[in-house]
Amino acid sequence: MLPEHVGRRAFLVLPGLLGGSALLAGLLSRSQVGTAVGYVLGGACWSFEYPVLVTLVSTYAPHRFGRILALVEVVSGVAGWH
């Protein structure tokens, strides 16, 4: 919904930074409530990134959309797998 080239990349990066900061602040508070609130705020911020990523890939590289989306899914799956 953002205009072309205005804020799209920032909107892709900033929620991750804000979400990571919220989660880290919650963990560093060493309280159960702080950790839970940080986790929820972090998750809410991170939920904004995926739709923007899909929009950017489909706009700038429509012929590579499937390959890029598959790569993102594999990397995020491997990074989250312990």
H/E stretch holding 74: helix 65-80
Q: How far is CA 65 from CA 13, 27, 51, 68, in A?
A: 20, 36, 13, 5
pLDDT in tens, the chain (82 residues): 555 666 666 776 777 788 888 888 988 998 899 889 988 988 888 777 777 777 777 777 788 888 888 888 888 788 776 5
**What does the domain layout of the chain look like in residue ranges?**
8-80
